[in-house]
C-alpha cells in the first residue's frame, strides 16, 4: 500500500440494506466538506457531539436526514479530522451521499478509500499499533463468541502490552551485556554479578507462556479443518450430521452416496471447526462411474490439507486390509484419529483408547453414543486446553515471530553457557542474539515492519475500515 495523505471517504457499513448506514470521511482540514454536505443552521458541528441534520446536494436538495458527528484531530479513530454521516441504510442512498462527499471534497483531493486505509492511518498516526490494527479485522471477522472476546482483548492492547514487557526485559539485559563489552577492563564477572542467566531464563519462560496463549488463540481465529475419510458406507455422513445437529449430508445404505466434499462449520467449545465429509475411498477400478472416481481424488486432496484426519471404520465389521491401505496413505505430519462407528451393532461401549498407532474412539453416530468423547479428543489432538488465562487471537505471522524470538534466545543461552575457568562467555554473540530476539518481537507491534508487509495486512481489511 503506497501511502497517500489525501483525504479519503467510503461507506463504512456492510453492503446491503439496513436501518442505518454510515459514510466516513477522514483527512486534514475537511471543514469545506462538512459545510457543503451539512450546512450549519445557526452553528457549525460541535466536535464529538451528535447532530441531527439534513445531508444536502449542491443545489440544496436533501439527500437524506440523519446524524452527523465530527471528530477533530487528533481525537478520532484515524488521528485526522473525521466526519461520520449516519443515514438510512439503503445502498442507493448511501452511494448518493458518498458521491456528494467526493464532489464536495474534489478541490482538496478527496478520494475513495482503499481497503483498510482508515485503520492504516490510525496505525501511522500512533492511534493503534500493528497488533491492535490486525485485531480490528479479527473482531469484524470473528465467527465465534470466544474469538470475538479474544480479538477484543488484543484490540484493547493486552497482547501488545505483554509483547512490550518482554521487549523491555530483553532491552534491559542487552544494556548490561553491551555495557560489559564497552568496558572490558573492568574485571567483573558479568554473568554472575547481574544474574544474566537467571534473567534470560525468566524471559524465555515468559515467552513460552505467551506463545502457548497465542497458539491457543490462533485456533480460535483460524479454526480447524477436520476431514472424515474412510471406505464407503462406514458412517462418515452420519457422523457429519451428528456433529452438525442436522441432516446436512445424505445418508443411505448405498455405498458411494457422497460424491463430493460436504463442508459444515460447527463450534466445539467456542472453536470454529470445518468438518469435511468426503467420498468413500475405494480402488479406482471399483468406482461406479467417473463422478465417483473424481470424488475419491478430491478426498485425497482434502486429506493433504487437514488439521486432523478422522479415519472412519466399521466397528461391527472390524479392521480390513482396505482400511490399512487407506491409513498407509495418510500424511505422516497430520494427527489421525481412528473412529470406530456402529458400536450400536457391534456391542462395544463408548470409549477412547490411546494406542501407539493412533487414538481410537468408539461411538455410534446414529444413536449419538460417544459424541462427547469425540469432541473432547479432537480438541486435545490439536493442543487445545481450557485455561483461565486470557488468549490472544494471534495470526500466523505472530506465531512465526514468537518462534523466531524463542530460537534466538535459545542461542543466546548457549553463548552464555560458555563460561568456565578456561573459556570466557561469548558476550558479543550473546548480545547479538538478544538484539535479534528483540527485533522479532517488536515486529509484532510494528516497530520493525516492512512497507510490503503493511500493504498485505491492510489490503485484506474491508473498505470503510
Higher pLDDT, 311 or 449: 311
Query: Nearest CA to 378 among 315, 309, 280, 331?
Result: 309
Quick check: 355 pLDDT over 90? no
What are the tens digits of pLDDT across the range 113-163? 999 899 999 999 999 988 888 888 888 877 777 778 888 888 888 899 999
What are the tens digits of pLDDT across the range 37-69? 998 765 688 999 999 999 999 999 999 999 999
Query: Nearest CA to 268 among 349, 151, 380, 369?
Result: 380
Higher pLDDT, 110 or 357: 110
Q: What percent of the chain has pLDDT over 90?
A: 33
What are the tens digits of pLDDT across the range 224-239? 888 888 888 888 888 8
Q: Which DSSP state fits 284?
A: G
Neighbours of 320 (CB within 10 A): 12
What are the tens digits of pLDDT across the range 140-154? 877 777 778 888 888
Using left for φ > 0, alpha for ψ between -120 and 50, and beta otherwise, residue 463 falls in beta
Q: Which DSSP state fits 424?
A: -
First CA to last CA across the chain, in angstroms? 15
Please tell me the distance from the alpha carbon of residue 182 to that of residue 185, in angstroms, as a whole number.
9
What are the tens digits of pLDDT across the range 266-276? 788 777 888 88
Q: What cell does 160 get?
A: 501488545
What are the tens digits of pLDDT across the range 393-403? 778 889 999 99
**Residue position matching grid coordinates 548457549:** 414
Q: Spell out the domains of the chain, with CATH numbers in brackets.
A: 8-129 (3.30.1360.120), 145-218+392-445 (1.20.120.430), 224-306+308-381 (3.40.50.300)
Query: Nearest CA to 395 among 119, 129, 154?
Result: 154
Half-sphere exposure of residue 181, counting CA atoms within 13 Å on the CB side? 14
Amino acid at each position: 500500500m503506497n501511502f497517500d495523505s489525501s483525504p479519503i471517504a467510503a461507506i463504512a457499513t456492510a453492503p446491503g440494506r439496513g436501518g442505518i448506514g454510515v459514510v466516513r470521511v477522514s483527512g486534514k482540514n475537511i471543514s469545506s466538506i462538512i459545510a457543503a454536505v451539512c450546512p450549519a443552521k445557526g452553528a457549525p458541528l460541535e466536535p464529538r457531539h451528535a447532530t441531527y441534520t439534513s445531508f444536502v446536494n449542491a443545489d440544496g436538495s436533501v439527500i437524506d436526514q440523519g446524524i452527523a458527528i465530527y471528530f477533530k484531530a487528533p481525537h478520532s479513530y484515524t488521528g485526522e479530522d473525521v466526519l461520520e454521516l449516519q443515514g438510512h441504510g439503503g445502498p442507493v442512498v448511501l452511494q448518493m451521499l458518498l458521491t456528494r462527499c467526493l464532489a464536495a471534497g474534489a478541490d482538496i483531493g478527496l478520494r475513495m478509500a482503499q481497503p483498510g486505509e482508515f485503520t492504516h492511518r490510525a496505525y501511522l498516526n500512533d492511534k493503534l499499533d500493528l497488533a491492535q490494527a490486525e485485531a480490528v479485522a479479527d473482531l469484524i471477522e470473528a465467527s465465534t463468541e470466544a474469538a470475538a472476546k479474544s480479538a477484543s482483548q488484543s484490540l484493547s492492547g493486552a497482547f501488545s502490552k505483554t509483547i512490550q514487557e518482554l521487549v523491555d526485559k530483553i532491552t534491559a539485559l542487552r544494556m548490561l551485556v553491551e555495557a560489559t563489552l564497552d568496558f572490558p577492563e573492568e574485571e567483573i564477572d558479568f554473568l554472575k554479578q547481574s544474574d544474566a542467566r537467571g534473567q534470560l531464563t525468566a524471559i524465555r519462560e515468559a515467552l513460552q507462556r505467551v506463545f502457548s496463549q497465542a497458539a491457543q488463540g490462533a485456533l480460535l481465529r483460524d479454526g480447524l479443518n477436520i476431514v472424515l475419510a474412510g471406505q464407503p458406507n462406514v458412517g462418515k455422513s452420519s457422523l457429519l450430521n451428528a456433529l452438525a445437529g442436522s441432516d446436512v449430508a445424505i445418508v443411505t445404505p448405498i455405498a458411494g452416496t457422497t460424491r463430493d466434499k460436504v463442508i459444515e462449520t460447527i463450534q466445539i467449545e467456542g472453536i470454529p471447526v470445518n468438518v469435511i465429509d468426503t467420498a468413500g475411498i475405494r480402488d479406482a477400478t471399483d468406482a461406479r462411474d467417473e463422478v465417483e472416481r473424481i470424488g475419491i481424488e478430491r478426498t485425497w486432496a482434502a486429506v493433504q490439507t487437514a488439521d486432523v484426519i478422522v479415519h472412519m471404520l466399521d466397528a461391527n465389521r472390524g479392521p480390513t486390509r482396505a482400511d490399512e491401505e487407506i491409513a498407509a496413505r495418510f500424511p505422516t505430519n497430520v494427527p489421525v484419529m481412528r473412529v470406530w462407528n456402529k458400536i450400536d451393532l457391534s456391542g462395544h461401549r463408548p470409549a477412547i483408547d490411546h494406542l501407539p498407532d493412533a487414538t481410537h474412539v468408539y461411538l455410534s453416530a446414529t444413536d449419538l453414543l460417544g459424541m462427547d468423547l469425540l469432541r473432547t479428543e479432537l480438541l486435545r489432538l490439536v493442543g487445545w486446553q481450557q485455561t483461565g488465562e486470557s488468549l490472544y487471537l494471534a495470526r500466523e505471522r505472530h506465531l512465526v515471530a514468537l518462534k523466531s524470538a524463542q530460537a534466538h534466545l535459545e542461542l543466546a543461552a548457549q553463548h552464555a553457557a560458555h563460561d568456565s575457568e578456561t573459556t570466557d562467555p561469548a558476550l558479543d554473540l550473546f548480545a547479538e542474539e538478544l538484539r535479534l530476539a528483540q527485533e522479532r518481537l517488536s515486529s509484532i507491534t510494528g516497530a520493525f515492519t516492512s512497507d510490503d508487509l503493511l500493504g498485505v495486512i491492510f489490503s485484506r481489511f474491508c473498505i470503510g475500515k
